[in-house]
A and B are shown apart, each in its own frame.
Chain A
C-alpha cells in the first residue's frame, strides 16, 4: 500500500517534468538550448487556463496551452535562428517575458495579478489520494505517451533523423538537402507544445492559474534532459528519479531524515555530476547552442 502511494505521488510529480524534458530533448537534439522550457511551461499553464476558462472545456484548454507554448517557442526560434542571437540570453529573456506577460494578462483579464478564477480541469471532485485521481486525469497518460512518442519520433522517423543531423552537423545536413532552419523551427515548436502541456497539467491539477506556478520545474526538466544524456527514455527516467527524490522528501519530512535543502539540490547536483563525466560520458549534440554560419 505504502509503495503504491509512493509510486502514485512520484508519477503525479513527474508528469510536468516528463512533458518538459521531452520538449527539452527534441529542442536540444536540434541544436537549440532548452533554457526557455520554464517560460513555455508558464505560458502554457496560463494560456491553457484562459482557454479552458472561456470555453469551459478542458480539451480546448489544452489546445490553448499548446498554442501559447508554440508561440513562445517560435519567438525563441526566430530570434535565435533567424536573428542568430545568443541562445542562453534569449532563453532567459523568454522566461522573464513569460513571467511578466502572464502577470500582465492576468491583470487585464481577471483583475488580479496573483491568480485566475477557478477553471474546469480533468479532475472530478473528491477522487481521493490514490490511483483513482490518476486514472481520471488524461494528462497523466498523455505525459507517459509523450515520452514514447518522442523516442519513436527521434529514432524511427525521417524527421527524427533530420533533427539529429542538424543538431550534430548542420553543414553536412544542409549538403544533403535538409532544410536546416525548417527542421529547427519544427523541433523548437514541438518542444514549446510539449512543455506547455506540462504547464497545463499544473494549472488543471489546481483548477487555477497562479502567477509563477511553474516554480522552477522547467529548469529541473532541463537538468533531466542533460542528466538523461539527450535521450528521451533516459531523460524520462531522470525525471522519475528527481520526482522520486521529491516524493521521498515529502514523505520523510516529518521524520527529519533527509534535510529538505539536500533534496532540493539533488537534480542540479546530479546534472553537474553527469556533465563532469563521472557516470559515463555526457556528450551534448555537437551543434548545441551554435547556429552561426548558416
Chain B
C-alpha cells in the first residue's frame, strides 16, 4: 500500500513537472503589436495533410502578412480538446479557433463562460430548434462553414466526364449529415453531365472509427472497382488512404478530399476537392486585426475560394482542356446561381 502511494505521488510529481515542459521555440515572448491567436487542432494533428495542415497554413500566412502570433495546440486525446480551448481562452487570446466540427459543443460552452473572447469554429455545426429554425451561434462565435457540396459537384462532373464508365463511386467515412453534403453535391455533379450514370455510394461505418479505418476503405474501394467503377471520390479521412491504395493496386483513379492528396498515390489521383481551411482561418485573423470580427455564420463556397478542385502540373495530363473548360463554365454557373447544388441527399 505504502509503495503504491509513493508510486502515485511520484507519477503526480512527474505529471506536474511535464506541464512545464515546452518544446523549444514554443513560448516566444510576446511582441508589442499584432494579435494573439490560439488554435486547437483536431485529433490527427499536424502532418495530417488535410484539415490541421490547412489551418496551419492559414496561421503561418497570417503570421507573415499580418504579424499575428499564433499558438497551436495539438490535443492527444479527445478530452484534451476542451482543455486546450480553455487554456487559450484563459490566456486572453484575441481569437481562439477550434479546427473540426467536433469542437462545436466545447466552443459553444466556453463562449458563454468567456464572453469577451472571440471564438471561431471550423465546420461548426449549427443546431436547429424544434421548429426547424437554425439557432445562431453565441455572439462571440464565428461559425466557419464550407459549401463542400459545390466543390463535390465539380469533382463529380469531372469523374463522370473522364471516368470512361457509366458507374462512378463515392466512399464516405461515418454515415452522418456532414458527409451526406459531399455525397449530395457529387451525385448532382455526376448527373448534371451524365444523367444516365449511376453513383455507387458506400460508407465505412457508423462510428468515428469509420474515419480511420484504411483497411475497410480499401475493401470498399476494391469492391467498387470490381463492379466497373473507374473513379472513386472519398470523403472519409484516413479511411480514404485505403481507397488510394486500392486505386494503385487496380490501376484506377481516386479523388482526394479536403487537401491536395496527389502524393498519396501519384498518377492515380484524378484531382482533390480542396477546402480552404487556410482561407477561412486567415480571414478570421484578418478580421480580428481590423476589428471587423463579429459572431455569426461565415460561409465559404466557390465564390470565396473556400472550396475548389486541384488542377495543376500533376494532373493536367489526366484532364483534357475541353473538360477543364467545361468545369470552369460549371463553376461560373454555380457562382452565378444558374446551377443549384443540393446539400442534402
Contacts and interface: CB of A to CB of B under 8 A. Distances in A.
Interface stretch (A74-82, A105-113, A146-154, A163-171): A105-113
B222 A210 contact: no
Nearest to A16: B215
Contact of A129 (B50, B202, B250): B250
A16 B242 CA distance: 16
B175 interface: yes
Interface in B125-139: none
A12 B250 CA distance: 16
Interface stretch (A50-58, A65-73, A182-190, A250-258): A250-258
Contacts of B77: 100
B219 A9 contact: yes
Contacts of A126: 248-251
A261 B206 contact: yes
Contacts of A215: 209, 212-213, 215-216
B226 A114 contact: no
A9 B74 CA distance: 37
A205 interface: yes
Interface in B233-252: 238, 241-242, 245, 248-251
Contact of B206 (A113, A250, A251, A264): A264
- Range of interface residues on B (Cβ < 8 Å): 35 or more
Contacts of A111: 46-47
Nearest to B200: A254
Contact of B226 (A129, A207, A213, A217): A129
- Could you say which of A110, A112, A202 has the most chain B C-beta atoms within 10 Å of its C-beta? A112
Given A16-B215, A123-B249, A206-B245, A254 B202 contact: yes
Contact of A206 (B49, B76, B215): B215
Contacts of B223: 9, 129, 250-251
Contacts of B48: 112-115
A211 B248 contact: no
B44 A206 contact: no
B46 A112 contact: yes
A216 to B, nearest CB: 6
A112 B183 CA distance: 29
Contact of A112 (B47, B76, B214, B251): B47
A5 interface: yes
A231 interface: no
A208 interface: yes
Contacts of B213: 213, 215
A127 interface: yes
Contacts of A254: 200-202
Contacts of A178: none
Contacts of B292: none
Contacts of B200: 254
A115 B238 contact: yes
A264 B175 CA distance: 13
B47 A211 contact: no
A115 B241 contact: yes
A250 B225 CA distance: 13
Chain A interface secondary structure, helix, strand, loop or mixed?
A: helix
A216 B248 CA distance: 26
Contacts of B45: 103, 107, 112-114
A128 B203 CA distance: 22
B207 interface: yes
Given A16-B215, A125-B248, A213-B213, A113 B241 contact: no
A260 B216 CA distance: 13
Contacts of A114: 44-45, 47-50, 238
A93 interface: no
Contacts of A208: 214, 241, 245
Nearest to A103: B76
B220 A264 contact: no
A133 interface: yes
Between A16, A202, A213, A216, the greatest number of chain B beta carbons within 10 A of the residue's beta carbon is seen for A213
A236 to B, nearest CB: 19
Nearest to B263: A118
B218 interface: yes
Contacts of A113: 44-48, 74
Given A128-B249, A129-B226, A253 B47 contact: no
A113 B48 CA distance: 7
B249 A210 contact: no
Contacts of B249: 123, 125-129, 133
A28 interface: no
A162 to B, nearest CB: 32
Contacts of B34: none
Interface of B: 44-50, 74, 76-77, 175, 200-203, 205-207, 209, 212-216, 218-220, 222-223, 225-226, 238, 241-242, 245, 248-251
26 contacts: A100-B76, A100-B77, A107-B47, A113-B44, A114-B44, A114-B47, A114-B50, A114-B238, A115-B48, A115-B238, A115-B241, A126-B249, A127-B249, A128-B249, A129-B223, A206-B218, A206-B241, A208-B214, A210-B241, A213-B213, A250-B202, A251-B223, A253-B201, A253-B203, A260-B203, A260-B205
Given A114-B45, A211-B238, 12 more contacts: A112-B48, A113-B47, A113-B74, A114-B48, A125-B248, A126-B248, A205-B245, A208-B241, A213-B215, A246-B219, A250-B202, A250-B220
CB-CB nearest 5 A-B residue pairs: A112-B47, A113-B45, A215-B213, A114-B48, A212-B212
